[in-house]
Structure 1
Amino acid sequence: MQKIATLLFWSVISAAFIGPGTVTTAASAGTKYQFSLMWALSFSTIACLVLQEASARLTIVSGKNLGQAIRMQFSGGISGVAILIVVVGAIIIGCAAYEAGNILGGVAGAALATGWPGDALTLFCGLSAGLLLWFGSTQLVAKILGGVVALMGLAFLITAFLISPSLPAIFKGGLVPSFPPASGLLIMGLIGTTVVPYNIFLGSGIAIASKSLKEMRFGLGIAVLFGGIISMAVLVVGTAIAGEFSFAALSEALQQNLGKGADLLFAFGLFAAGFSSAITAPLAAAITAQSLFARKDVSQWQPNSWRYRSVWLGVLLTGILFGLTGVQPVPAIILAQALNGILLPLIAVFLFIVINHPGLVGKPGRNGFFANAVMTAVVFISVLLGVANILKAGGAAFGYSLPSEQSMLIIAAICAAVIFIPVLNIVKRNRSAGDMRMN
């Protein structure tokens, strides 16, 4: 019974990344490239597990969430303030990008089910989310909508089995990295939609209620792996779509394999995923800002304070404005996931530093050799992919010719190493200083 309760407690993490972004990005990857980008989901599932475990362990061992730990590590001076502003800025920008995708995805699902005009549905979703956030009545709604999203995920899982995909192709795509032409945005999108930067703060915040590291690792491990499998199932279903990806085409693929009613389940599931995430993203932005900036006078950052409300309101309004502009939901959602994939390395680097600080987590709580080896690989690859896609975006924006994909990865690896080596030096210095104090 205790294990079931633990699973339900940590299922919030998998529920938080199975949203419109996951459905859109994973299904688009399957439609355009079949199983070639499955490896990005394999990597991002492992990365999600590694980073979420470290973030939760930090809170359980130290009693401080990730935001508080970053504030302690980098407090004081202009550089400390600058780091806090950069971190909270990255999270708020990321949440605002997600919010645009959440509103657009929720509206697309509601439109599939009702046929109502998009502007009216956008205002309805935005106003409803705003009222729930203002009055703090989000938990019950989130649980109900989470149940609908879980049913949609189950529908994708069943459909993935029914279409009888090629297992050798799945294993090859899942284990062997490949970079098809023009796939960079989708690769970052797949990573950004699975390893959600604000989820790292969310997982750290809720871990305070966890009783032990063993309990946390069990619940978190199952939840993240389940979420990763659902994401892979969505990609598999996407391979069955002929032509360009669209929500209507994905709905039709589900209906053909599951029968009548599957299209409505998808429509309501997409709406539920979008609407529940439209509540979560602004809330996560406000909680992150609170953890980084709340000092002795915590009343200034209480949920009913103007500072706290201004953060979530700004994120929510961003989503509503995007919904009202009439932008196409699919490319906007993919772009939002890719932006967060690029922001992820920043958060991963700060987590890597604080989880290795003995003054925060003590010697038993910090990373061991194996954990550091895995986390180093995860953070470095995240930085590498982020740099590669920034270079590609720069080339497209300024019109200069880009080298081959392999040359691009080599250049990105060199840039990532230049960025990452100082981080390793900080970690080494902190660990050595901690060992000297303990001895």
Structure 2
Amino acid sequence: MKNFFKNLGPGILVSAAFIGPGTVTVCSIAGVEFGYSLLWALLISIFACIILQEMSARLGLISGQGLSECIREEMKNPVIRIFTLFLIFSAIVIGNAAYEAGNITGAVLGMEAVFTSVNFQIGAFDLNIWSLFIGGIAFTLLLLGSYKKLEKVFIVLVILMSISFLLTAVLTRPDISEIFKGFIPGSFDAGLLTIIALVGTTVVPYNLFLHASLVSEKWTGSKYLGAVRKELVFSLALGGLVSMAIVVCAAASNIDQIEDAGDLALGLEPLFGNSATIFLAIGLLAAGITSSITAPLAAAYVVQGCLGWKGGMKSRKFKMVWMSIIVLGVMFSSLGIKPVEIIQFAQIANGLVLPIIAIFLFWIVNQRSVLGEHKNSLFQNITGIAVIALAVFLGAKSIFNVIQNF
């Protein structure tokens, strides 16, 4: 047991990345609008996440490199390599800026549930003071904290959030038979964007880059493969249970719609009374801070790998990337768009980018020159193809629906 907790780290950071304000908001919307009926989509998302993140973790462990580094080295054709790296660079950096805005906005929702909104004008730009505050916390922790320190902070925060949400789900006394019915797949047309958002908030594309890089820093050699897999399954299963608990809480409440943190808190009032708002504020703030750290960190790892930089977290170039993502996140979160809409957009964007990144990961983990005997087995390829097919199908359906609405 002691060795198990000692090995906790990369998987917990991945869980911390997707147990953010986006997860709280999207899962709450799913519960409010569709009850327990989309639990099946969340369960499939968790299995898909475990399958893809295992490939990413195995790549980092065996190769000792991140995903973007491996792609850069394995693509021999210079034209294809440049195009691919540019595509990855654009998708992750732009996507993470949107995701960071969602993380910061979610944490701001928590702050505004207790304190009033505070804005100040900079020329024609209206800046939310709480967005600046949350961005400042993320900035400081990344600037001062080493990976090992961040790892310990994340472990504590994830365990606390997990206990809180799981306990809340139990206390709502949901209808168990209805929960079981929710795991039976329904129509993809019912709540398609919500389904894509649930996939996007669980299988986060930038986590595939982050996980490989973090594993390569923590462990070296195939002898740790068993420990990596156990830590991965435990961490992501825990994260999945938390997501399901949030859906259950929202479905068991009497909320009609969600516009802000106050609406989310209404569902907790029967359990916590007037302290519901404070409880939710703390949860959103903690979730926002953890995710606000991982998104810039992942973007920096991607850029470092694409451009072949050396020096890791301590290098000036590495720091400039995550600083830029935080600044963009603060700016985007202050544009006056409804917070829930920003968070939903970030999750849907993730769902659309996922197939592209998953295909690149699938290709690289089938290269014997990279993983040797640890390249994908037949079973891993079958499950990987199934996950990619699902991601492509959801993305294509979403684009088709958008075109039809024009």
Please give the TM-score of this superposition, normalised by the length of structure 2: 0.90
2:61 matched to which residue of 1? 60
Paired amino acid for 2:379 = F
Query: Is residue 2:256 matched to residue 1:243?
Result: yes
Secondary structure at the aligned position of 1:243 is classed as coil
Secondary structure at the aligned position of 1:174 is classed as coil
1:221 matched to which residue of 2? 233
Residues 360-391 of structure 1 deviation map (CA, whole Å, 9 limit, x = unaligned): 111x2011111111111011111111111122
Check the 8 A contact 1:21/1:337 in 2, yes or no: yes
Show the 5 A alignment for 1:144-223: 144=153, 147-148=156-157, 150-181=159-190, 183-208=191-216, 209-210=218-219, 212-223=224-235
Residues 304, 64 of structure 1: CA spacing in aligned structure 2 closer, same or farther, 3 A cutoff? closer
**2-side partners of 1:185 and 1:50: how far apart?**
23
**2-side partners of 1:27 and 1:13: how far apart?**
21
**1-side partners of 2:150 and 2:55: how far apart?**
29
Query: Is residue 2:388 matched to residue 1:388?
Result: no
Structure 2: runs of 5+ lacking an equivalent = 120-127
Check the 8 A contact 1:357/1:366 in 2, yes or no: yes
**2-side partners of 1:115 and 1:124: how far apart?**
14
What displacement does 1:134 show?
4.2
What displacement does 1:213 show?
1.0
Residues 69, 236 of structure 1: CA spacing in aligned structure 2 closer, same or farther, 3 A cutoff? same
Residues 149, 259 of structure 1: CA spacing in aligned structure 2 closer, same or farther, 3 A cutoff? farther
2:107 matched to which residue of 1? 106
Check the 8 A contact 2:15/2:158 in 1, yes or no: no
**1-side partners of 2:147 and 2:134: how far apart?**
14
2:21 matched to which residue of 1? 20
Residues 209-264 of structure 1 deviation map (CA, whole Å, 9 limit, x = unaligned): 23511111111101111100110110111111421124212223223224553432
**2-side partners of 1:255 and 1:18: how far apart?**
22
Residues 84, 353 of structure 1: CA spacing in aligned structure 2 closer, same or farther, 3 A cutoff? same
Paired amino acid for 2:363 = I
Identity of aligned residues (%): 38
Q: 1:377 aligns with which of 368, 386, 390?
A: 386
**Rg larger in structure:** 1
Check the 8 A contact 1:107/1:271 in 2, yes or no: yes
Aligned Cα RMSD in Å?
A: 2.2
Residues 383, 348 of structure 1: CA spacing in aligned structure 2 closer, same or farther, 3 A cutoff? same
- Which structure is higher in RCO with an 8 Å CA cutoff and minimum separation 6? 2
What displacement does 1:165 show?
2.1
1:354 matched to which residue of 2? 364
1:404 matched to which residue of 2? none
Paired amino acid for 1:65 = G
2:267 matched to which residue of 1? 253
**2-side partners of 1:71 and 1:218: how far apart?**
29
What displacement does 1:139 show?
6.2
Aligned residue pairs total 391
What displacement does 1:302 show?
6.5
Show the 5 A alignment for 1:403-418: none
**2-side partners of 1:44 and 1:324: how far apart?**
30
Check the 8 A contact 1:156/1:254 in 2, yes or no: no
Q: Higher mean Cα deviation, 234-243 or 71-80?
A: 71-80
**2-side partners of 1:138 and 1:268: how far apart?**
24
Please give the TM-score of this superposition, normalised by the length of structure 1: 0.83
Residues 169-220 of structure 1 deviation map (CA, whole Å, 9 limit, x = unaligned): 2223223132354x22211111111011111111111212235111111111
Paired amino acid for 1:293 = L
Residues 46-67 of structure 1 deviation map (CA, whole Å, 9 limit, x = unaligned): 0110001011111222222212
**1-side partners of 2:320 and 2:164: how far apart?**
38
Check the 8 A contact 1:101/1:332 in 2, yes or no: yes
Show the 5 A alignment for 1:319-358: 319-358=329-368
**2-side partners of 1:75 and 1:106: how far apart?**
43
1:403 matched to which residue of 2? none
**2-side partners of 1:149 and 1:366: how far apart?**
31
1:39 matched to which residue of 2? 40
Structure 1: runs of 5+ lacking an equivalent = 400-439
Residues 302, 151 of structure 1: CA spacing in aligned structure 2 closer, same or farther, 3 A cutoff? closer
Check the 8 A contact 2:75/2:81 in 1, yes or no: yes
